[in-house]
Structure 1
Amino acid sequence: MSPDVLLVGAGDLGAAVGLRLADLGHDVLALRRNAALVPPPLHGRSVDLTAGTPDLSDVRPRLVVVALTARPRTEEAYRATYVEGMARALDALQVPPERAVLVSSTAVHGGSDLPGLQDETTPVAPSDGPGRQLVAAEEAFHQRLPHGTVLRLSGLYGGASTRLLDQVREGRVTDPHRWTNRIHRKDASAAVVHLLTMAEEPERLYLGTDDLPAQMGDVAAFIAEQLGAPAPPPADPSQGHGKRLSNARLRSTGWVPTRPSYREGYAGL
């Protein structure tokens, strides 16, 4: 039987999405450089999208998820993976899917200090090459799948990375006043599945972030308390800088984060 779901990219987030869909009864095919790393019951196919067009003549998925990862974080790597690689995969499909979600990033909003919360109506303002390529990828995605949905995720956490925990433990939090936006990986994967399976037709764009933009100093102080580490420099709202994001549009579809803030996400460390 031909799989009814295609994952274009099956790293930590893509695989988590695939496993959720498999639990719902879907048959999932995942494209990844090394198919041996694709967790069962997902079916893996070894494909390097930066090297050539895959043969997908045997695949007619109803649902498509594009969740790619580029390394290193350079404009060239992002173009090769997110723009050119994604285009090869989508162009190889024989028929368009019923629904598709491209996982993008709120990095396309740059680090602007606009007043109030930014949302899907805020113009993009990428501040570097990778951000510009993500904008190009969103455009290429909608050119091929006009009915598709882009989900811009804020800072992912909750996986294997201990980078922020190490910074707090070692006293290396240097910008406590910066506003940060984050989403737990479990809530992010749930959001992708929700947009693929919700009864109503999703819109073209959503921001995926939790309920509470927070200054880094507040987040670090909570983590330090959990770890028993020295308290970091305190945050000062009057000196806050950076963007703050709203999840109102995504929440209006019925998606609810299980970790609405960093407190629930980092509790129990």
Structure 2
Amino acid sequence: MTILIAGCGDLGTEVGLRFAALGHAVVGLRRSASVLPREITGQSIDLSREKPVIPFDTEFVVMAISAGSPTIDAYRAAYLDGLRNLLDALDDAGVTPRRVLLVSSTAVYDINDGSRVDEQTPANPKPGTDSIVFDAEQMLHARIPSATVLRLAGIYGPGRERLITQVRAGAALSAESRHTNRIHRDDAAAAIVHLLLRPEQPAPLYLGVDNAPVPSNEVLAFLAAELDLPELALNPSAAPASTRESQRGGDKLLSNRLLRDTDFTFTYPTYREGYRALLAGAGTLHP
């Protein structure tokens, strides 16, 4: 049995290492496959332009594709052209995977009123890159109705430490503290493996987010305390941390209830455990 990972960047590589540690053969697709660890058989390919070679025994497919830049053209090339070439290659090879999962984004919810969001909440992406991500989800489900979409919130973890850097640089609390949602990179990877390997057929859609939607000021204050820095001051003109982290964050309370109902257990259930592990240098590359 082969696990095919299209988009073997940071998250895709972590997923591949976890599958390899369980004894599975893993093939990773990325532009420069030479940088992949030895546990993953690499295939150097630009999916936006080419169809990959599909191993005949491919049972699971993970699409963790990402755009090279935040432009509409880059998103269209990665999410639409790349996904189409992958699906066409599966058809050409006559391979029908047992399970297929697309990593998407909770940015498809353009919600800014602090309301609760779950899998039943209709997506309402802004025109532009967020709409392209949603179009990719729809393309996948049109061609493979049994596929699963995992919409991830803001990923943090090893190499994704911008908020820590901001606090060290003297970030201020904002008078407009929006709710932020996040998931540790290791938990995102573990959730993908969990959903693909569990006996029950996964649902069409899950939200990948930890247990603690939280106002951005609370996270900033927590990090300052953990770093033994002076208590952060309130700056009425400071932009909300969620805006500084991502223009796509919005203000919403994302629910992970459906994911937890699959008996998935978080290693880092809230930002506290995750950031403490980061500050202690405890990030992992595999179990």
- TM > 0.5 fold call: yes
Q: Deviations over 1:142-165 (max 9, x none)?
A: 122111100001010012133111
Asked if 2 retains the 8 angstrom alpha-carbon contact of 1:49 and 1:81, the reply is yes
Structure 1 window deviating more from structure 2 (155-164 vs 10-19): it is: 155-164
1:31 counterpart SS class? strand
CA RMSD of aligned residues (A): 2.0
Q: Deviations over 1:54-90 (max 9, x none)?
A: 333x444000000012121122111110111111012
1:9 equivalent in structure 2? 7
1:75 equivalent in structure 2? 72
Percent identity for Structure 1 against Structure 2: 46
In structure 2, distance between residues paired with 1:193 and 1:92: 23
Q: How many residues were matched structurally?
A: 262
Change (3 A) 1:13 1:173: farther
**Aligned pair partner of 1:41 in 29, 39, 42:** 39
1:174 to partner: Cα distance? 5.5
Asked if 1 retains the 8 angstrom alpha-carbon contact of 2:114 and 2:178, the reply is no
1:232 to partner: Cα distance? 2.7
Q: Supply the AA of the counterpart residue of 2:113.
A: D
Gaps of 5+ in 2: 243-249, 280-287
1:192 equivalent in structure 2? 192
- Provide the TM-score with structure 2 as the length reference: 0.86
- Provide the TM-score with structure 1 as the length reference: 0.92
1:121 equivalent in structure 2? 120
1:52 to partner: Cα distance? 2.2
Structure 1 window deviating more from structure 2 (67-76 vs 239-248): it is: 239-248
Q: Supply the AA of the counterpart residue of 2:272.
A: R
Gaps of 5+ in 1: none
Q: Deviations over 1:234-259 (max 9, x none)?
A: 69xxx998111000000000101111
1:20 equivalent in structure 2? 18
Q: Supply the AA of the counterpart residue of 1:137.
A: A
2:62 equivalent in structure 1? 65
Once the two structures are superposed, the pairs formed by residues 258-269 of structure 1 within 5 Å of their partners are 258-267=267-276, 269=279
1:171 to partner: Cα distance? 2.2
In structure 1, distance between residues paired with 2:20 and 2:219: 34
Change (3 A) 1:173 1:138: farther
